[in-house]
Chain A
């Protein structure tokens, strides 16, 4: 399944790429993409583990770019 969330305060394109990279390596994630211009992160992955994945993704985003607030799209 596909889930989209917003990364408010995403100000750096390198960080966007780093977040994208790290999230797509999470277990259960088949693809992840961070759109710097729309500040949206799209994650495709295992439906059963989606809540866990979203939580981990939010932690990753926070760690790479502490100013980011993850919000439901």
Chain B
């Protein structure tokens, strides 16, 4: 059996610990055998640390942790504290082992999280089906995806139908049905049927590659906390070391009666606490856990800096259509006069059947039966008004209030929000049909959860009429609404809203990423919805919600807050403990044992705290 580096040092440390215990039990003051045992334990445990320190000094690097630990422990030997010297090395090694183990585990769990890379593609070449690396497949080639296989490249279905599991991309457990002509996204798993598809994007440009790239590179954009702690570490170590030296030398020289032995011991305490490495590790660990966990829930965060900014967000501005509403029109209400509701829908659907305007499509959908084209004659469309046609021999007019007035038909204008289609039959008013955009199922819950997550203001921007905007805002519980905005006005509005936030607060804008790229860029945090399959959204935003659910924004904020809470806890806790022990050590109250806790104990606690972030399943 070959042992890994970690296992080897674990065994060495364990043997050294046994020798150390024997040395303590058999300890005789002044005995050379005792000293020999302590030295043996020391070198079994920390020999490699001393070796690395020597090697690094030869490389011209002085202030590294190996050197500091070597000086601290050798110093303790010289002043006669054998037991403490070995203990410092022992616990330092235990801390290192633990740290390596924790980092290893989180790297592995992130790798598992990211294990959505397809291994191969079945390509139809000639008569044969070849199994090749997805990288080697060209756009336009035909691939076959069998049940249970991962879709290797973005493609469009040629034949076959199946349902696919998109959970790796969206966090959504409900499978999606695909049929001829539907887009098939790489990274999904084919569940039921055999599907033949034509490749539309090469591997590097396919959805799965983009997502992997994004999450892996998220760590490159570092957060303020991360930059702070690395900067801090750069000053901390040299300062502590300088104080240690001064502490060991000056008081015994200046103050009569003070002993070198006592003050060197105090200086050594400083050296033991001078390494900030574990604190530094716990910060990227937390951010990486947060970003990885969010991606599993279908939320892509492009960098630690955005996750940090999100946790400070105060104002969330939404675009309406496609973000809070489905962006699809639907018949909401049928108000017939003198005929049945079904009859009203039937004549309206037939009259409008030659148009492919969203309004007429929604009428046909609500009617639900096939349109009999033979019943319709003399169709005449007046733009901005509506349609006149002869259906079953009767003259039908379907359109807005302007059309009714033009035809001189008496009607009452209803007090509703949405698009109203009035219908007249042979000059007699037959009632109206209300068509409106539908609010997404989880939109109201999303706003409510944002409030609970600490968002102060929610704002909606829309190009729609004031009336529709206000109605949707009221229905969802949104604080403010600005309607009838042109795309360019939205940027100006966001500029205005910036004035309303506190100095540290951030403004997030949520859009669909299609025509609001300038606003996404202007906001502190640009969030795009429905990113699955939309390259534009993935490009433009800082955070991409892969599904259409606005409630995921609240999830993202909760993940960000938890991440930052852990980061801040670690920073304050570590600095407080280290500071306290440094102070107590300087005045001679804290012992070497307290220093060991301030170094290794704090490191282990900080890492354990950071690891909690990998378990984001607990955040709903």
B216 within 8 A of partner (CB)? yes
- Do A13 and B277 have beta carbons less than 8 Å apart? yes
- Do A35 and B281 have beta carbons less than 8 Å apart? no
Bound-state Cα–Cα, A64 to B219, Å? 21
B103 within 8 A of partner (CB)? yes
Given A14-B233, A17-B230, A37-B285, answer yes or no on A42-B220 (Cβ-Cβ < 8 Å): yes
Given A11-B100, A37-B107, A38-B216, answer yes or no on A66-B59 (Cβ-Cβ < 8 Å): yes
Give residues in B with beta carbon < 8 Å to A: 52, 55-56, 59, 61, 65, 99-100, 103, 106-107, 110, 216-217, 219-220, 222, 230, 233-234, 276-277, 280-281, 283-285, 288
Of all chain A residues, which has the CB nearest B216?
Answer: A38
Bound-state Cα–Cα, A33 to B375, Å? 69
3 residue pairs, one from A and one from B, having the closest CB atoms: A17-B230, A35-B219, A33-B220
Given A17-B230, A66-B52, A66-B56, answer yes or no on A12-B281 (Cβ-Cβ < 8 Å): yes
State the majority secondary structure of interface residues on A. Answer: mixed
- Do B277 and A12 have beta carbons less than 8 Å apart? yes
Bound-state Cα–Cα, A29 to B417, Å? 58
* Cβ–Cβ < 8 Å partners of B277 in chain A: 12-14
Bound-state Cα–Cα, A43 to B38, Å? 47
Bound-state Cα–Cα, A66 to B233, Å? 20
Of all chain A residues, which has the CB nearest B231?
Answer: A17
State the majority secondary structure of interface residues on B. Answer: helix
- Do A14 and B52 have beta carbons less than 8 Å apart? no
List 16 A–B pairs whose Cβ atoms lie within 8 Å, in order of A's numbering: A12-B281, A13-B230, A13-B280, A13-B283, A14-B276, A14-B280, A17-B230, A17-B234, A35-B216, A35-B219, A36-B281, A37-B107, A37-B219, A38-B219, A42-B217, A42-B220
Bound-state Cα–Cα, A40 to B220, Å? 9
Of all chain B residues, which has the CB nearest A33?
Answer: B220
- Do A36 and B219 have beta carbons less than 8 Å apart? yes
* Cβ–Cβ < 8 Å partners of A37 in chain B: 106-107, 110, 219, 284-285, 288
* Cβ–Cβ < 8 Å partners of B110 in chain A: 37-38
Chain A 52-68, CB-CB to B under 8 Å as 1, else 0, gives: 00000000000110100
Bound-state Cα–Cα, A63 to B284, Å? 23
* Cβ–Cβ < 8 Å partners of B59 in chain A: 63, 66
Bound-state Cα–Cα, A62 to B106, Å? 24
Of all chain A residues, which has the CB nearest B292?
Answer: A37
Query: Closest CB of chain A to B164's CB: distance in Å?
Result: 28
Query: Closest CB of chain A to B563's CB: distance in Å?
Result: 13
- Do A17 and B106 have beta carbons less than 8 Å apart? no
Of all chain B residues, which has the CB nearest A32?
Answer: B220
* Cβ–Cβ < 8 Å partners of B283 in chain A: 13
Bound-state Cα–Cα, A66 to B64, Å? 12
Bound-state Cα–Cα, A26 to B280, Å? 24
- Do A64 and B284 have beta carbons less than 8 Å apart? no
